[in-house]
């Protein structure tokens, strides 16, 4: 995986490689750079492969965007992984994977618009579900974006799932005060 090499964990702080650009300065984030179409296509492929490798190991980054990818001379490096999720154990795994993939495709698609017409998330997720995903699994890029009109019920389900996920996280971060979390549960149920 293209991530900074960790060196140690001290007082709750993870020490890792400092990623540099070619001049020895701190590497820029993707959102700070302008790319040619050829670079965008190339880096997009690299990132799709990184996402495939991660998912092959059962993980989804969960907050992948141009703000959490640094551009080093050797190409993109992924940072900010603490919220990575276990794909098999998370009800929102498909939604999170799709968001990660679509964020990357939207970003690189601004420089190479042809990327935007292909449903990479759909292809990666279906390979994963069929048990056919491996780190080297070829992506055909033949999944076309659906051109059906918006599925309102589907959108509402997504929103409910996001609310549930938030409620679950709030429960997980609970400082132990039972009252708080019960009140919160009631509040969610009335929605």
Residues that bind ligand ATP (CB under 6 A): 4, 16-19, 26-27, 29, 67-68, 70, 79-80
Q: Choosing from 17, 21, 23, 80, which is the catalytic residue?
A: 80
Shortest approach of ligand ATP to residue 17 CB, angstroms?
A: 6
Q: Choosing from 63, 102, 180, 186, which is the catalytic residue?
A: 63
Shortest approach of ligand ATP to residue 147 CB, angstroms?
A: 34
Q: 90: number of CA atoms within 13 Å, CB side?
A: 22
Residues 6+ apart with CB under 8 A from 120: 48, 101, 105, 139, 141, 143
Shortest approach of ligand ATP to residue 27 CB, angstroms?
A: 6
Q: Is 63 one of the annotated active-site residues of the chain? A: yes
Euclidean distance between CA atoms 128 and 131, whole angstroms: 5
What letter does residue 116 receive in the DSSP assignment? G
- Measured from the CB atom, the residue of 70 and 118 that comes closer to Mg ion is 70
- Measured from the CB atom, the residue of 3 and 137 that comes closer to Mg ion is 3
- Calculate the alpha carbon distances from 106 to 37, 93, 95, 115 in Å: 13, 20, 16, 8
Shortest approach of ligand ATP to residue 76 CB, angstroms?
A: 12
Q: Is 80 one of the annotated active-site residues of the chain? A: yes
- Measured from the CB atom, the residue of 2 and 41 that comes closer to Mg ion is 2
Q: Is 68 in the site for Mg ion (CB under 5 A)?
A: yes
- Calculate the alpha carbon distances from 32 to 67, 68, 110 in Å: 9, 11, 14
Give CA 43 to chain center in angstroms: 15
For the chain, give the number of residues.
191
Q: Which of 21, 42, 80, 158 binds Mg ion (CB under 5 A)?
A: 80
Q: Which residues are known to be catalytic? A: 63, 80
């Amino acid at each position: 995986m293209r991530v900074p090499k960790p060196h140690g964990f001290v007082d709750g702080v993870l020490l890792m490689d400092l990623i540099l650009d070619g001049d020895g300065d701190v590497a820029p984030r993707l959102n700070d750079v302008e790319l040619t179409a050829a670079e965008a296509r190339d880096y997009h492929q690299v990132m799709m492969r990184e996402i495939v490798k991660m998912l092959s190991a059962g993980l989804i980054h969960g907050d992948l965007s141009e703000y959490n990818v640094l551009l080093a001379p050797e190409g993109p490096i992924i940072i900010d992984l603490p919220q990575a999720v276990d794909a098999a154990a998370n009800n929102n795994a498909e939604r999170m994977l799709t968001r990660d993939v679509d964020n990357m495709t939207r970003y690189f698609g601004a420089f190479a618009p042809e990327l935007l017409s292909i449903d990479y998330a759909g292809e990666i997720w279906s390979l994963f579900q069929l048990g056919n995903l491996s780190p080297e699994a070829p992506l055909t890029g033949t999944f076309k974006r659906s051109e059906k009109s918006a599925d309102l019920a589907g959108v509402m389900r997504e929103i409910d799932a996001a609310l549930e996920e938030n409620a679950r996280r709030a429960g997980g971060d609970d400082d132990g005060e039972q009252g708080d979390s019960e009140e919160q549960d009631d509040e969610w149920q009335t929605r």
